């Protein structure tokens, strides 16, 4: 027991650990969260210094236990008729980020809580069902727009087979990290960005339609590095 305690003490000094919680449990029927959430968790567990857990209970955002984690990942799209969540969840999520914690959003999580003002401010951009949803599922190139930012530092353009989202809306100040051009309308759309003035660190990436995306080298690295930055494993 003494040896174990000494090992833990040594590890806490030399190997900082940041706790990340992936919150999942519901989504659009075309999104198999039961395969994508474990795929994301597997990718993040490759990052030294990240301790990754996930829960299938989005009501976690209303629990004081959330503060145990350095960063939370929204990996779902909730539907009120299946998953009604009270005002304590809206307040809990808002307070969590405002207190300096990290928040990451994946793919259709841009549609989670889109009616909550607090969520809009933290997500930066949310799903607008009036807009065209996305390009046809297929291969496109993601370009790095700010290679100096620690969330994408060292990354180069990469190809990924996914849905290029064209449905984001909002006027909250964001900082675009990477972008892609639509094959449908030839317009440029953000793929990943950070959100300004939240109190914490927010990383929002719209990649992730299916589990294979998280196994694609470029997208995998983007999520690994972006969420490591969000959890403050990577400092500015």
User: What's the Cα-to-Cα distance from 23 to each of 71, 173, 181, rounded to whole Å?
Assistant: 11, 25, 30
Query: E strands, 64-187, where?
Result: 71-74, 102-106, 126-127, 138-144, 158-162, 168-169, 174-181
By CB neighbour count within 10 A (0-12 exposed, 13-18 middle, 19+ buried), where does 23 fall? Answer: buried
Q: Is the dihedral of CA 112, 118, 120, 122 positive or negative?
A: negative
Which residues are registered as beta bridge partners of 174? 195
The C-alpha atoms of residue 40 and residue 35 are separated, in whole angstroms, by: 9
pLDDT at position 14: 60
Q: Give mean pLDDT, residues 84-93.
A: 84
Instruction: Tell me if the pTM is above 0.85.
Output: yes
The C-alpha atoms of residue 68 and residue 74 are separated, in whole angstroms, by: 16
For residue 156, give the DSSP letter. Answer: -
DSSP string, 26-88: ---TTS-HHHHHHHHHHHHTTSTTEEEEEES-GGGGGSGGGGGSSEEEE-----TTT----HH
pLDDT at position 173: 94
Q: Are 24 and 33 in contact (CB under 8 A)?
A: yes
pLDDT at 85 over 70: yes
Q: What CA dihedral angle connects 233, 42, 200 and 153, to 10 degrees? A: 60
Q: Are 151 and 195 in contact (CB under 8 A)?
A: no
* Residue 12, C-beta contacts closer than 8 angstroms, at least 6 positions apart: none
Segment among 13-22, 40-49, 90-99, 159-168 with least mean pLDDT: 13-22
pLDDT at position 4: 45
Segment among 24-33, 87-96, 156-165 with least mean pLDDT: 24-33
pLDDT at 119 over 50: yes
The C-alpha atoms of residue 145 and residue 166 are separated, in whole angstroms, by: 18
Q: Are 214 and 40 in contact (CB under 8 A)?
A: yes
Closest CA to 33 of 215, 210, 220: 210
* Residue 6, C-beta contacts closer than 8 angstroms, at least 6 positions apart: none
Tell me the pLDDT band of 88, cut-offs 50, 70 and 90.
confident
How far from each other are the two terminal CA atoms of the chain, in whole angstroms? 38
User: What's the Cα-to-Cα distance from 51 to each of 28, 178, 209, rounded to whole Å?
Assistant: 28, 26, 24
Percent with pLDDT over 90 in the chain: 71
pLDDT in tens, 158-206: 999 999 999 999 999 999 999 999 999 999 999 999 998 999 999 999 9
pLDDT at position 58: 87
């Amino acid at each position: 027991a003494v040896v174990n305690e000494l090992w833990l003490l040594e590890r806490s000094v030399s190997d900082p650990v940041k706790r990340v919680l992936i919150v999942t449990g519901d989504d659009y029927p075309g999104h198999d969260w039961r395969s994508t959430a474990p795929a994301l968790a597997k990718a993040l567990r490759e990052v030294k210094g990240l301790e990754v857990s996930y829960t299938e209970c989005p009501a976690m955002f209303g629990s004081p236990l959330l503060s145990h984690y350095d960063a939370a990942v929204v990996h779902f799209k909730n539907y009120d008729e299946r998953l009604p969540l009270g005002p304590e969840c809206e307040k809990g999520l808002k307070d969590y980020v405002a207190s300096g914690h990290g928040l990451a959003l994946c793919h259709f999580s841009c549609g989670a809580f889109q009616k909550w003002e607090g969520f809009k401010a933290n997500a930066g951009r949310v799903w607008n069902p009036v807009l065209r949803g996305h390009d046809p599922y297929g291969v496109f190139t993601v370009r790095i727009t700010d290679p100096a930012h620690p969330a994408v530092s060292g990354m180069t353009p990469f190809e990924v087979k996914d849905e290029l989202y064209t449905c984001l809306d909002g006027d909250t100040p964001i900082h675009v990290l990477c972008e892609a051009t639509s094959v449908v309308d030839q317009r440029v759309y953000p793929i990943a960005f950070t959100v300004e003035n939240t109190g914490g660190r927010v990383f929002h990436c719209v990649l992730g339609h299916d589990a294979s995306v998280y196994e694609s080298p470029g997208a995998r690295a983007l999520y690994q590095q972006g969420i490591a930055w969000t959890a403050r494993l990577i400092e500015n």
